[in-house]
Chains A and B, each alone.
Chain A
Amino acid sequence: MNPRPAPPPELAGRWLSKFFIDHLAGERAASPKTVSSYLDAMKLLLTWFRDAEHIPPEKLRLADIDRPRVLRFLHWLEAERNCSATSRNQRLAVIKLVEDMAKEVMQDWGTSGLDMRISAAQWRHPGYIWAYRGSEVHKEVARRLGQRYPDLFDGRMNGTGPDYSVKTGGKVELTTPGEVAGHKRKGGESDDCGYAVYNLKNK
């Protein structure tokens, strides 16, 4: 019987096996749970390379695991695979930060402070003034979070408000009291902090 030929050393599979067997389980005496979670992540990575990059595991080389691909993989992981308890807890922690910041802005500025930030044309529409004020809360929350927690937020906005979706792995929205009421009427799943509500449909 012919022995199975060893894979070329530059193939990623060989390197990954060595990493798990020698480094994690041996040198670091990692727990079976830790090794298992790393293996799960690697399985996801290999699956992603197969499906998104059309590189099957047996042909994956270390050079293929470059920075742009890893970033794309992480983005996909955040956007599509938001299901682990860890990521859920991280998301809830982020939501708490957002909630606290919204309260701080409301406390610092109050209604009149928010009012002065909207345009003269917007003052003429009292029916919509909450929405206009709400957009100013969005902006200030995004700004302060971007300043204080640069690793979690970057201060950018999407089309409707601060964009927390990337860092939270799901849909998180800061809205006005009117929108909160409407959302609840429709049976939406939400956490209410008085002013802000965070849509956790993807929880």
Chain B
Amino acid sequence: MIVAMPSTTSRTSEPADRLDFDHVSQVGADYSGRRLAALSVRGSRFERCRFDRVRAKGVAFSAGYDLSEYVDCSFDGVRFPSVIAGFSRFVRCSFRDADIKGFGDDYLELVDCVFTGKLRASVFWGAAPQPEAEKRYQSDLAFFAREGRPEPAGYRELARRPANEFHGNDFSGVELIDVSFRGIDLSRQRLPADGYLYLPEAATTVNRALGMTSDPKIEGFLRGTLGRALSFGQHQLLLREADYQGDEAAFALLREAAA
């Protein structure tokens, strides 16, 4: 149930199995240990709040047209199998021993956060991918016109934001399962090492590797999978070897080319 509330209040609607926050501002609240069907947030701000060990089947960190912000919050030990990040921003948040699936989103911002545990099936973007983001925005404008509703204040600026702030994050202790970065400066993050291949100058290394092989399978991997990843403006690549079983020869070649 969504309960409309004025901004900066701290009321919540809390049926037994879900937590809803609609334009609230919370400081120092503790929701640790909750077992939820859903956690849903709209246009809210959380500072020094604890969501430790929360298990929620469905999570919307920001479901509305405005920003939801989490500052100095902890999500240690959470189990979130399905997440919509939306217009959410996390600053100095802790996700230790977390297991989160589908965290990446077009407008997600992560600054100085620390992760351990598992991040699964997520694509993180340095900027909302175009032209799809603009198409979504135009669809929203058409919807507002049909409904006779004004465009929500500040939505234009959010939807057309040129970049997502994404730096200072510590991924060194987390397992990145089926995770990709697009347009994100990986040199500004701490990354995991064991079981991963990191290519700091990916385009150069891939080109060099292409000159070192005539194997069509390896060429297909380099031009296809890696070439497409590079086409999103990603300068460094982080590849989890377990995600690419059957391409061990390509990984060996890339290591040689990067040496």
Contacts and interface: CB of A to CB of B under 8 A. Distances in A.
A120 B143 contact: no
Nearest to B58: A156
Interface stretch (B110-118, B132-140, B164-172): B132-140
Interface residues of A, number: 38
Interface string B123-163: 10000010110011001100100000000000000000000
Contact of A143 (B22, B63, B224): B63
Q: Which of B13, B83, B86, B131 has the most CB of A within 10 A?
A: B86
Interface of A: 68, 71-72, 74-75, 104, 108-109, 113, 116-124, 135, 139-140, 142-144, 146-148, 150-151, 154-161, 163
Interface stretch (B45-53, B89-97, B226-234): B226-234
A155 B178 contact: no
15 contacts: A75-B15, A104-B139, A108-B135, A119-B121, A121-B180, A121-B240, A122-B178, A124-B225, A124-B244, A143-B63, A146-B64, A155-B63, A155-B84, A156-B40, A163-B38
B46 to A, nearest CB: 17
A123 B58 contact: no
A159 B56 CA distance: 10
Interface of B: 1-2, 13, 15-17, 20, 22, 38-40, 42, 57-60, 63-65, 81-84, 86, 102, 121-123, 129, 131-132, 135-136, 139-140, 143, 178-180, 221, 224-226, 228-229, 232, 239-240, 243-244, 247
Contact of A150 (B42, B102, B243): B42
A52 to B, nearest CB: 12
Contacts of A144: 136, 139-140
A143 B2 contact: no
Interface of A is mostly: helix
A117 B58 contact: no
Contacts of A123: 224-225, 228
Given A143-B86, A147-B64, A108 B136 contact: yes
A157 B140 CA distance: 21
B103 to A, nearest CB: 11
A109 B132 contact: yes
A164 to B, nearest CB: 11
Given A108-B132, A119-B121, A119-B179, A68 B16 contact: yes
A202 B178 CA distance: 35
B123 A147 contact: no
A156 B61 CA distance: 9
Contacts of A157: 58-60, 82-84, 102
A117 B129 contact: yes
A75 B131 CA distance: 40
B57 to A, nearest CB: 5
Contact of B59 (A140, A150, A156): A156
Nearest to A74: B1
B186 to A, nearest CB: 14
Given A157-B58, A157-B60, A148 B143 contact: yes
Given A72-B15, A119-B178, A158 B58 contact: yes
A139 B232 CA distance: 21
A118 B120 CA distance: 12
A170 B63 CA distance: 22
Given A158-B57, A163-B38, A120 B63 contact: no
A68 B15 contact: yes
Q: Which of A109, A119, A121, A147 has the most CB of B within 10 A?
A: A119
B129 A159 contact: no
Contact of A71 (B2, B15, B60, B65): B15
Given A68-B15, A71-B1, A122-B178, A155 B225 contact: no
